[in-house]
Amino acid sequence: MRPLFHPAIEDIQPQAILHALSDPRRAVIFARIRSAGCVEACSALSAMGDQIIPKSSLSSHFKVLREAGLIHCERHGVEMRNRSRCAEVESRFPGLLAAIMSAYASSIDASACGTGE
Amino acid sequence: MRPLFHPAIEDIQPQAILHALSDPRRAVIFARIRSAGCVEACSALSAMGDQIIPKSSLSSHFKVLREAGLIHCERHGVEMRNRSRCAEVESRFPGLLAAIMSAYASSIDASACGTGE
DNA sequence: TTGTTTAGTTCCGAAGTTCAGAACTATGGA
DNA sequence: TCCATAGTTCTGAACTTCGGAACTAAACAA
């Protein structure tokens, strides 16, 4: 297994962040890591509502988030320790993550009102 | 030619906005429409730095921006009148567009310093 | 009216991306 | 050493994007 690549803060591109978070499942994964501060394992995030994300898909979602500079991943024995890089991203692109995550939160609220989900 | 589809403001999804703006060329197109208030023709935006975007690609970029709810397009004779829907999007997702566009602006500044573009 | 020009859309094949199952790697514990 | 657990990589199928060619629609001149 090749070592995990994490971009330097100055190499983080807005398009990579937007692309990473334009997938609602990745946005949910990131929101959980962000709010938890530190989420122990990737597999802890495989349950997405009533469906399960396959391991291989989950792994590639984490790779996209990692290479976009949104999360930092570190091996701890057999499992992965994931933490968000919010503070770094915030210092480089002020307000970006907060605006994106609150947009998602408000659209979930709106759809919950309408459809009863 | 089928009539142009524009989503209602309450049907605009954050993932569609992020996807639309995760392409730097679309982000540039949108930035120009946004700052101009109203850009007369699609073809006015085909020059992207030193390269020209083909008509068919340009047309599909406009379609993505339109269907994401970011712009409003209207036929005026032979050409298209495009205007941004910033105010509507701002009222639904406060701060989102400003944060995204300023992230792009700051990353262009940063790369201009490094590479001399 | 008819032909020409201009502006944009649609079609379609090639190239690239994403998804998820199967096989694999790496670590920890019995 | 063997097994279980947690993730990664490989692979092919499904989907998306790109751009050239052909098309549509409006404006205008003859």
Look up the CATH number of the domain holding residue A55.
1.10.10.10
Do the domain assignments include residue B5? no
- Give the CA-to-C1' distance from B78 to D21 in angstroms: 21
Q: Is the CB of A22 under 7 A from strand C?
A: no
Give me the percent of chain A exceeding a pLDDT of 70.
92
List the A78 CA – D9 C1' distance (angstroms).
17
Which of these, B108, B24, B16, B15, lies nearest to B71 by C-alpha position?
B16
Q: Which chain A positions have a beta carbon within 8 Å of B21's beta carbon?
A: 18
- Is B43 among the domain residues? yes
Classify residue A6: in a domain, yes or no: no
Q: Is the pLDDT of residue A16 over 60?
A: yes
Nucleotide D12 C1' to residue A56 CA (A): 15
Does a structural domain hold residue B46? yes
Give the residue numbers spanning the domain of B28: 13-109
Residue closest to C19, CA→C1'?
A57
Chain C: nucleotides under 7 Å from a protein CB?
Answer: 5-11, 18-23, 25-28
With respect to residue A115, please indicate whether it lies within any of the assigned structural domains: no
- What one-character DSSP code corresponds to residue A80? E
Query: A1 in a domain, yes or no?
Result: no
Q: Are A62 and A71 in contact (CB under 8 A)?
A: yes
Contact B98 A98 (CB under 8 A): no
Average pLDDT value for residue range A37-44: 76
Which among A107, A114, A117 has a CA at the least distance from the CA of B92? A107
DSSP secondary structure, B61-115, as one string: HHHHHHHTTSEEEEEETTEEEEEE-HHHHHHHSTTHHHHHHHHHHHHHHHHHHHH
pLDDT score at A104: 97
Tokens of B89: 């999007």
Band of residue A91 on the pLDDT scale cut at 50, 70, 90: very high
A101 within a domain of the structure (yes/no): yes
Contact A110, B10 (CB under 8 A): yes
Number of domains in chain A: 1
Q: Which nucleotide is nearest to A78 (CA to C1')?
A: C27
Residues of A in contact with B110 (CB under 8 A): 10
Beta carbons within 10 angstroms of residue B88's beta carbon: 15
**Mean pLDDT taken over chain B:** 89
**Cβ–Cβ gap A14/B107 under 8 Å:** yes
The reply to whether B6 falls in a domain is no
How confident is the model at residue B27, as a pLDDT? 97
Neighbouring C-alpha atoms within 13 Å toward the C-beta of A10? 6
Q: Helix B96-115 crosses helix A96-115 at what angle (to 10 degrees)?
A: 150
